[in-house]
Structure formats: C-alpha cells, structure tokens
C-alpha cells in the first residue's frame, strides 16, 4: 500500500526534474553593431554602450552590463547611432556590455 501512496510523489519529482525548453533568443542582426566605451571623467569612468543600426528598419534593443545589470530598453532608428550611459563615476576602466536587438 505504501508504494501506491509514493507513486504520485515520484511522478511529481520526475516532472519537476524534467528539462525546461525555452525558445532561444533571436540573435542580433548583423547590421546592428554595439560596443562598450569607458570614458574618463573628473571622478572615475562613465560606462557608455554604443549601438549603431545600419539596417533599413528600426531596432528594439535591451542593454545591460556586468556592472549595471538592470536592463535599459532603447529603440535605434535606421542608419543611426546612439550612446547609452549605463554607469557614472565607476573606478573600473573595463566592463562587459550585453546588447540584444531585434528589428521592428
């Protein structure tokens, strides 16, 4: 009788351990380029992420860094470049930007 009571728990455990499939993020189009730039100021460095959209459509982008993980949403018009300051006055001269864009 104990086996019958444990069967639902075992089934629940198997479901909990099953791999979760998620859609892979769409890669940023090749016509959208991005890079990070640490700019020296009087007190520390400003971390700036530059996004250049060479596409014929606007790009919706989400930007974060290893120093400033809170996402910033931005739209970049076709054939334009924008700069987003993600952190001001950092003692660090290096940071890792993470930029994901999709065309609209």
What number of other Cβ atoms are within 10 A of residue 20's Cβ?
Answer: 4
Domains of the chain, start order: 25-103 (2.60.40)
Q: If you count DSSP H runs as helices and E runs as strands, how many of each does the chain have, helices first?
A: 1, 6
pLDDT score, position 4:
52
Length of the chain: 104
Kindly list the averaged pLDDT for each block of 10 residues, start to end, along the chain of length 104: 53 51 73 97 96 98 97 98 97 96 96
């Amino acid at each position: 009788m104990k086996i019958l009571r444990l069967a639902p728990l075992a089934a629940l455990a198997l479901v909990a351990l099953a791999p979760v499939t998620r859609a892979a993020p769409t890669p940023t189009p090749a016509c959208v380029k991005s890079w990070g730039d640490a700019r020296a100021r009087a007190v520390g460095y400003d971390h700036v992420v530059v996004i250049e959209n060479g596409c014929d459509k606007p790009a919706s982008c989400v930007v974060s860094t290893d120093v400033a993980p809170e996402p910033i949403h931005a739209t970049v018009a076709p054939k334009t470049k924008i700069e987003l300051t993600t952190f001001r006055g950092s003692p660090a001269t290096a940071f890792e930007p993470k930029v994901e864009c999709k065309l609209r």
